[in-house]
Amino acid sequence: MTDQDTKSEKKVPGDVSLVSSPEDLLTLSSQEHGTYAYTIEDYFAKPKAKSFQLSPDGKYLSYQEKDALKKNHVYVKNLEDGKITQAIQEQEELIRGYGWANENRLIFVMDTGGDENYHIFATNVDGSDTKELTPFDGVQVQILQMLKEDKEHIIIGMNKTNKEVFEPYRINVNTGALQQLYVNDDIEHPIMDYIFDKNGELRGFTRLRNGVDIDLYYAKETDNYECLKELNWKDTFSIKSFSYRPEKKHEAYVVSNLTSDRSEIYLYDLKADKIIKKLFSDPLYDVSGLGLSRKRNFELDYFSFQGEKKVIVPISTYYKKLHTVISNRFPDQQYAIADKTDNEDRYLIFIQSDVLYGVYYVYDVEEDSFELLYNLMPQLQEEDMATMQPISFKSRDGITIYGYLTLPKNIKPSQKVPLIVNPHGGPQGIRDTWGFNPENQLFASRGYATLQINFRISGGYGRKFLESGFKQIGRKAMDDVEDGIQYVISKGWIDEEKIAIYGGSHGGYAVLRGLTKTPDLYCCGVDYVGVSNLFSFMKTIPPYWKPYLKIIKEIWYDEDVAEENKIMKEVSPVFQIDKIKKPLFVVQGANDPRVNIDESDQIVRALRAKGFETPYMVKYDEGHGFAKEENSIEMYKAMMGFLAKHLKKDF
C-alpha cells in the first residue's frame, strides 16, 4: 500500500495536497549521477545485528537481528550451549529499545508511528509470557530506575493521571501490577524529576516553582521531604548517585555549577547541605560522567566528559588497569563499556572512531583476552572514510566557538569543494561530538565537506556560553554558524559559491532561518522536521512540555513581550518568505509530537504560493525524525538528488 492509498482511506495529519508524489520524489532522487564506491544503503541500512547486551549473570547474550523484511527482532543466545531463540518479534511498530530486567526476563519499548507515547512490554528469554505492562492509550511511559536489588520490579514514570506531568510507579515486570510511589498533583508547581536510590527508595525530587525556579526536596528523614535548595532552572545541581558507603546514607556524587561556570563533580553531604570535597573538573568543558562498581561496594571507577573527543579519567586501581588494557589494544579509537556482567568477569566493549562506525568485542577478565563479537558496518572500510577535524575560531563579537569539519578524502591542496553546513538540533544544551557520522561520510563520498558548529547555546562549554545563546536563536546563534562558514572559506578549503545548509529539528529551523537571514550565502537548503513559525510552534508543543513553557520562552522568545514579539516575527521564516531566493527541500514525519506537521506545511504552502517548486516528503508512520530504514534511505536518496541538482551545477 502506498502513502497515497493510505491518505485516501483515513484522515491523516497535515495537508496531504502539499505532499510531493512518489514519482516526483523518485525523479528528484535520479538527479544524482555518478559511480561511487559506496551506496546510500551502505551508510544508512541498519546493521544486520545490533544492540548487543549481556544478561546480568552472563549466561545469555541478547541482540537485535534484521530479517529480509527489515524487521529487527530480538534474539537471545545461550552462551553455554550456543542455542539461539527469538525472544521478541518486531511487527508493524518498531522496537524503540530493550534491556534485561533480570536474569530471565527482558523489557522492551514501543510507540505508535513515532508519536512518542511509549509503552513498556516484557517477555521471558524464550519468548514466552509476553505481556504489555502499560496498556494505557495516550500515555507516555518513562523508565526512571532499573532495580538490581529487586529483580521483580522497575520504576517508571507515567503521565497517566494528567498528561502534563509524570508520576512514579513501581511496576512488576511479570504481572504489570502497579504501585504508585508519589502523587504529582500540584500542577502549578509540578515535580520535574524523581531521585531514587538503588533500592528504589524515593530520596528526593525537584519541583518547578513559578515556571522558572526549581526547588530541590530531600528526605533527611524517611518520607519527610524538605526543601534543600532553591535554584533557578539555569542552575545545575544534579545528584548522580549516592556513594553507598557504610554509615554514609546522605553522601552523594553531585554535578554542580553553583560555584563555577563549568559543571564540576563533588562529593556532597545532602543532610548537612555542604560540599565534602571537589572531586573533578576541567577548565574548558562541563564534566558530569562517572562510573561506580556495584560488585566492589560502589567503588568510584572513573570520571568522563566530552571534550574535542570523549575523555575517560580512571580513578580506581581496578579501572586504571582495565582502561590501560583497552586503550593499548585499541589506540587512536574511542571505547565505551556497552555492558558488563554483575560479576565483572565479562565486558562488552564498543569501539568507534571518526572512520569506524562501530565494533563490539567481548573482554574476558580472567583470560585477559578480547574476542571480536560483531562489526556493525563491515562494508564501510576505514581507509576509505573521511576524517573529522576539530576546529575553533573567534565569532564576530569575540567568543571562541568550536566545531568539526569533515573534508572529502584525498582532495588536492588547492582544491575547493562544496560545503554542507549542518547545525545541530536542540538547540540548548545539545552539541556535536567527534565520532563516526554516516551523514558526513555520505557527503564526503560525493565530494562535499560538512561543517558542524557548536554555536552559542550549545552544551558542554559552561554556563556563560550556554546562556549567551538565550534569546539569540535565529540571531547570534546563526551569526556563529555564518562565522564558521567564513572561517573554513578563509582556509582555502571551500568553494564559497556552492554552500548548502541542512539540519533537523532546530537544525531544520536554522536552515529556514539561514535562507531568510543570509539568502545569498547558500545555494539551497534541506529542512528536516524544522520549525517555521515560532508562534505556532509554542502553541502545539506536547502537553508534557507545557509546565516548562516559561523556560522555553526564556530560551527562545516571549510573544507577550512587545519587543520579543517583534523579534519572533523577524526570526520566524514563514513571515520572511519574500527573502528566500534559493531552492528548499522539506521533510516531515506526520506524527511528530514536538514539531507539528503544520510547521512544514506552512513553509511549503507559502513558498508554493510564491511560485517556488518545493519538494516535500512526508511519512505517515514517522515522528520527530525517520526511524524506519526504508524511509531513511528514501529520504537520503531524494536529498542527495536535490543536493546534486543545486550544488554540482554551475551558477
Are residues 191 and 182 in contact, defined by beta-carbon separation less than 8 angstroms?
Answer: yes
Name the band, by pLDDT with cuts 50, 70 and 90, for residue 171. very high
> For residue 617, is pLDDT > 70?
yes
d(CA 419, CA 425) in angstroms, rounded, equals 19
d(CA 415, CA 418) in angstroms, rounded, equals 10
Determine the pLDDT at residue 175. 97
Cis? peptide before 427, omega within 30° of 0? yes
Q: Is 559 helix (H, G, I), strand (E, B) or coil?
A: coil
> For residue 335, is pLDDT > 70?
yes
User: How is the chain split into domains, by residue range?
Assistant: 16-43+456-648, 47-132, 335-378
What percent of the chain is predicted at pLDDT more than 70? Answer: 98
Determine the pLDDT at residue 250. 97
> For residue 413, is pLDDT > 90?
no
Average pLDDT, the chain: 96
Are residues 172 and 222 in contact, defined by beta-carbon separation less than 8 angstroms?
Answer: no
d(CA 186, CA 184) in angstroms, rounded, equals 6
| Strand order from edge to edge, sheet including 264-269 | 237-242, 251-256, 264-269, 274-280
Question: Beta-carbon neighbour count of residue 651 at 10 Å?
Answer: 7
Determine the pLDDT at residue 14. 96
Q: Cell 533527611 maps to which residue?
A: 220
Q: Over the stretch 561-608, which tens digit does the pLDDT of each residue have?
A: 999 999 999 999 999 999 999 999 999 999 999 999 999 999 999 999
Fold of 47-132: Lipocalin (2.40.128)
d(CA 22, CA 4) in angstroms, rounded, equals 9
In this structure, the strands spanning 346-352 and 178-180 are: unpaired
Mean pLDDT of all residues in 118-124: 98
List Cβ neighbours of 78 (8 Å cut-off, separation of 6 or more).
59, 60, 84, 85
Least confident of 176-180, 244-248, 280-284: 244-248
d(CA 262, CA 199) in angstroms, rounded, equals 31
Look up residue 106 and give its three cell numbers: 527482558
Determine the pLDDT at residue 168. 98
Look up residue 548 and give its three cell numbers: 516548562
Q: Cell 532552572 maps to which residue?
A: 233
> For residue 651, is pLDDT > 80?
no
Determine the pLDDT at residue 648. 82
Determine the pLDDT at residue 649. 58
Are residues 617 and 3 in contact, defined by beta-carbon separation less than 8 angstroms?
Answer: no
| Strand order from edge to edge, sheet including 359-364 | 334-340, 346-352, 359-364, 369-375
CATH topology match: 16-43+456-648 vs 47-132: no
Are residues 25 and 310 in contact, defined by beta-carbon separation less than 8 angstroms?
Answer: no
Least confident of 3-17, 459-473, 481-495: 3-17
Q: What is the CATH number of domain 16-43+456-648?
A: 3.40.50.1820
